[in-house]
Amino acid sequence: MIDESGEVRELTAADIKTFKRGSAALPASLRAKTGVRGPQKAPTKIPLSLRLSPQVVEAFRASGEGWQTRIDVVLADWLKTHSPDELAV
């Protein structure tokens, strides 16, 4: 795919017809790894269902992408100076 002067040339329709799908072009050792996540880099969080007031959810959602993580950060920060036992519900 290099022209006479040694430069990379523009692809033609004939060039594209010779291409293989990515999965077919990869060696079997790499094909087995595609779409598989590696090990966790940090401890995983615990998935759970949680009911929050509409005001809290709306405020955090309005802050954009990553709002659930920000709720986790706020709660972790609160735990540095408080105990859940302090709350009367």
Task: Kindly report, residue by residue over 36-79, the tens digit of the pLDDT.
Answer: 777 777 777 888 999 999 999 999 999 999 999 999 999 999 99
- Length reported for the chain: 89
Please tell me the pTM assigned to this model: 0.51
Helices (H), 7-88: 13-18, 22-25, 28-31, 54-62, 67-79
List the chain domain ranges. 1-31, 54-83
Contact predicate 84/77, CB 8 Å: no
Q: What pLDDT score does 49 carry?
A: 93
